[in-house]
Structure 1
């Protein structure tokens, strides 16, 4: 397993009897270099795996916080080349780095070309929230060819059969989105998450990461009690949105939040 291996991150966490902390920010937010600085800060402060978002003009599954960050990135002219540059910089830290993206930009770029360029940048794989395995043969072939992880989503509305089909197509981990509706930080964790993880565990031996709006260490500990990974996005984005004119203060606050969440996944 290479330094960029998602599997290695989960293996290490199991050996330490804890969950994995997965952190998300869109590339190009607040700008390309600022985004790289933020993501590397998150790695240094305790994120095990990084998701780099590919900003998209119609983010139907994202809540207002991530939409605001993606819009800012798009207004700065962030392109796929900037996303790949971000992946390369973050992967160089040794943290497994995946891209999370809606499918249309990948299709427009060229599926095989995207897979090749992602692998060349040191990327570990792709998370595709609006692509299901039955509509993904081209991506599955390209990912297999270039050794990239394929992370598909399951949701509380997924039938047991759909969960089985989805997890069979995954490599790396399974993304359990335990919130019905758009993403965003919440005051309490969803009561749908535990049952969804249990149903998913019945279908696969792959690690299961849960994304449901975790925003502090206590919530991370709660989710880490039953999930293999705690996935955090909106809370990280909000920290940077709250410090638009003071980058150093934003990075310091980002590091503080990461340390709190990293302590949480160790308290499960």
Structure 2
């Protein structure tokens, strides 16, 4: 019997949040900085994070800041593609944390939604985030993913209207990705009072866990989100750390306030 779409993602986030801390959703661009390090990096991050978000490189990542744009271009230069990522995932030992692929729409269209759903399920993927696909245009992809029990995670922002917020949250599977700013990724997040009000609105509308993303870099930001978000998404800071060749496990454990093993 197939799981409901997003069930594994929701369960992992709720299990972490039940311990009194937001879950850690860690973003990495597949194949960056070096393609041959992908399996090793994913194995390490997948043991330290609660969910791993794997970025599919794209030529025009319009929702991303400078760091992730740079990582996307670097991965593309090494021949990293959606097909390559799925092939790597299919043949490697799967990490403890569930995996979600973040991709712009064009690579998914080129692959074909139904073949994509089958290949992703075979590779152990739990869901997708598609930042340039509005929720009300995503039914074809959502239906294809649902045949394999895969989630289509939806994104909201501080300027999402109340009416649209309710609809997007109702459609989201696995978790709701609550963008904490209106610009691109990696910049400073909203002020804490504004952030608290915004996340309160999202949580009131959501039926799945709510995870806050964009701008998370420090332990104190994670602490400030206790009780306000079920999870935090860390992206640009982790990509920069991998660029420098530093230990992602130590840094992720530091976000949790834990010493490295």
TM, length-normalised to structure 2: 0.90
* Distance across 1 between alignment mates of 2:81 and 2:151: 22
Residue pairs, 1:77-226, within 5 angstroms: 77-88=79-90, 92-186=94-188, 190-191=191-192, 192-226=194-228
* 2:35 pairs with 1:21: no
The separation in 1 between residues aligned to 2:79 and 2:20, in whole angstroms, is 42
1:43 partnered with 2:37 = no
Query: Given that residues 175 and 208 in structure 2 are in contact (C-alpha distance below 8 angstroms), is that contact kept between their aligned partners in structure 1?
Result: yes
Aligned 8 A contact 2:21 2:223 in 1 = no
Q: Which runs of 5+ in 1 are unaligned?
A: 244-249
Q: 1:11 to 1:202 in 2, by over 3 A?
A: closer
Which of 237, 244, 252 is 1:258 aligned to?
A: 252
- Specify whether residues 199 and 87 from structure 1 end up closer, same or farther in structure 2 by C-alpha distance, changes over 3 A only: farther
Paired residues, number: 253
How far 1:89 sits from its partner (Å)? 6.5
> Quick check: 1:235 aligned with 2:209?
no
Distance in structure 2 (CA, Å) of the matches to 1:86 and 1:227: 32
**CA distance 1:185–1:255, change in 2 (3 Å):** farther
Distance 1:179 1:231 in 2: 13
Q: Is the 8 A contact 1:88 1:123 kept in 2?
A: no
Alignment deviations for residues 146-205 of structure 1 (CA, whole Å, 9 cap, x no partner): 10011010001100111111111111100000111110154x654443222111122123
Superposed CA RMSD: 2.1
1:246 match: none
Pair 90,255 (structure 1): closer, same or farther in 2 beyond 3 Å: farther
2:121·2:150 contact (CA, 8 Å) conserved in 1?
yes
SS of residue matched to 2:46: helix
8 Å Cα contact 2:22-2:226 kept in structure 1: yes
**Greater alpha carbon shift after TM alignment, 80-89 vs 156-165:** 80-89
User: Quick one: distance in 2 between partners of 1:86 and 1:48?
Assistant: 21
Residues 92-116 of structure 1: CA deviation (Å, up to 9, x unaligned): 1221000011111101111111111
Listed as ranges, the gaps of 5+ residues in structure 2 are none
* Residue aligned with 1:124, SS: strand
Q: Cα 1:142–1:91, aligned 2, differ >3 Å: closer, same or farther? A: farther
Distance 1:79 1:213, change over 3 A: same
Give the alignment partner of residue 75 of structure 1, picking from 72, 77, 80: 77
SS in 1 for 2:60: coil
Q: Distance in 2 between matches of 1:11 and 1:181?
A: 28
Deviates further, 165-174 or 80-89: 80-89
The two structures have a TM-score, normalised by structure 1, of: 0.88
